Each structure stands twice: as C-alpha cells, then as structure tokens.
Amino acid sequence: MEFTIAVDGPAAAGKGTISRALAAHFGFAHLDTGLLYRAVGAKGGDPVAAAETLSEEDLARDDLRTLAAGEAASQVATIPAVRRALVAFQRDFARRSGGAVLDGRDIGTVICPEAEVKIFVTAAPEVRARRRWLEAGGDSASEPFEVVLEQVRARDARDIGRADAPLRPAEDAEELDTSDLTVDAAVARAVALVAARLEADNRAVDGRRV
C-alpha cells in the first residue's frame, strides 16, 4: 500500500525523533530530507551540480549532523535549481509501497501535497536552542547558549523567508507543539494522528497496518 506521512517544522522541533518513532511503530520507511540538503552543502563546489549528482556515498558522510553542515544546508536550500534536482528522489520515496515518513520543511506543501497525514512540529525558539545546546554538551559546549539561540533564529528566518518552498504549515496540517511535551508524549500524539487516519481509511486495526 502507499501511505505518506509528511512531517515538517523548524530545526530542533523534534521532527526527526517523531518521524523515526512513527516509521518504527507502523513499519514504514523513513527519509530525513534535511540530509539531502546537508549532503549538497557539504559536497562543496557548484551546489546545483552537487544536487544533480548526489550519491548514496554523499549521504553516508559522517559530518552531516554538525551545526556547520546545517548552516550550509540552509544556504543551498534557497537555490531553486537545487530544490528542483531533489524533488523526484523524494517523491519516489514517498510513494514506495509499504508506507513512508518524510521529514523536512516543504514535504506537506510542495513535495507531497497529497500526503495522507501532515504534521507540523513546532517548539519555541528558546526550547529548540536549549535542546541543540544540551546535545552539544551544555556548559561544556563550544558555543554559549545565546549563540546557539541566535543561530536557531537566523536559520528560522532563512527557512521561513526564502522565496522558493518556504517553511510553513500546509493548510491541512495538524500542528504539534512539543515545547512542553516529553518525547514519549509527543510521539504518542503523532501515532494517534496517523492511527486515526489509517482507521478512517479502514487500513488498520488497533493503530497497526493490516
């Protein structure tokens, strides 16, 4: 069966954690689309050529999760030809048989406007910056909290303000604000949203695909 879950939202809102948990719960495949832009940014040279020739090897680099790689990704992601070059791969992944979860910025609005479930995950900038800062080591992190908060705000501004496929919720997306939720509670809400849609489509019993 084809069933697409689109999970969008700003950096460090919890998209990745929620998407991985959804994929594991329902037995779907998962694509972190931010990794595509990170790999393009990390490859260097002409970003359009990098996007057009992106390989498995590029996606397997171990330096794609750094703050610097996120920054580079956010910059190449403003180039329409880069975005265009990555569309087909994402759409093919979304419609693979067996179900798919894609997380990013424009999945519900541009890549998969027909997705069966769209979730827009948010959290206050201070909460997201604190998560990033703690991940990087807290008091022993190389950047003070205020600097990480500034980076989060700058990235939001670029992702929201770009002309092509800006970050915004699809009209029919369910908003999930994780500011005051534990990971388990946020995942439980997302699972409930998907289970409700599967059940409405008569495709599942007890929240599991049949």
- Give contact residues for ligand DC (rule: CB under 6 A): 11, 33-34, 37-38, 70, 73-74, 77, 104-107, 155, 159
Residue placing its CB nearer to ligand DC in the complex, 13 or 195 = 13
Rounded to a whole number of angstroms, the minimum distance from the CB of residue 66 to ligand DC is 11
Which two structure tokens, joined as six digits, stand for 78? Answer: 């403003």
Give the strands of the sheet with 29-32, arranged side by side: 29-32, 100-104, 4-8, 117-122, 174-177
Between 11 and 85, name the residue whose CB sits nearer to ligand DC. 11
Cβ neighbours of residue 13 under 8 Å, at least 6 residues apart? 121, 122, 123, 128, 178
Shortest distance (Å) from residue 171 CB to ligand DC: 18
Alpha-carbon distance 163 to 158, whole Å?
10
Q: Which residue has the tokens 């994929």?
A: 23
Closest distance between ligand DC and the C-beta of residue 115, in Å? 13
Instruction: Rank residues 104 and 125 by Cβ distance to ligand DC and give the closer one.
Output: 104
Residue with smaller CB distance to ligand DC, 24 or 157: 157
- CB of residue 64 vs ligand DC: minimum separation in angstroms? 8
If you search the block for the tokens 């019993």, which residue do you land on?
Answer: 205
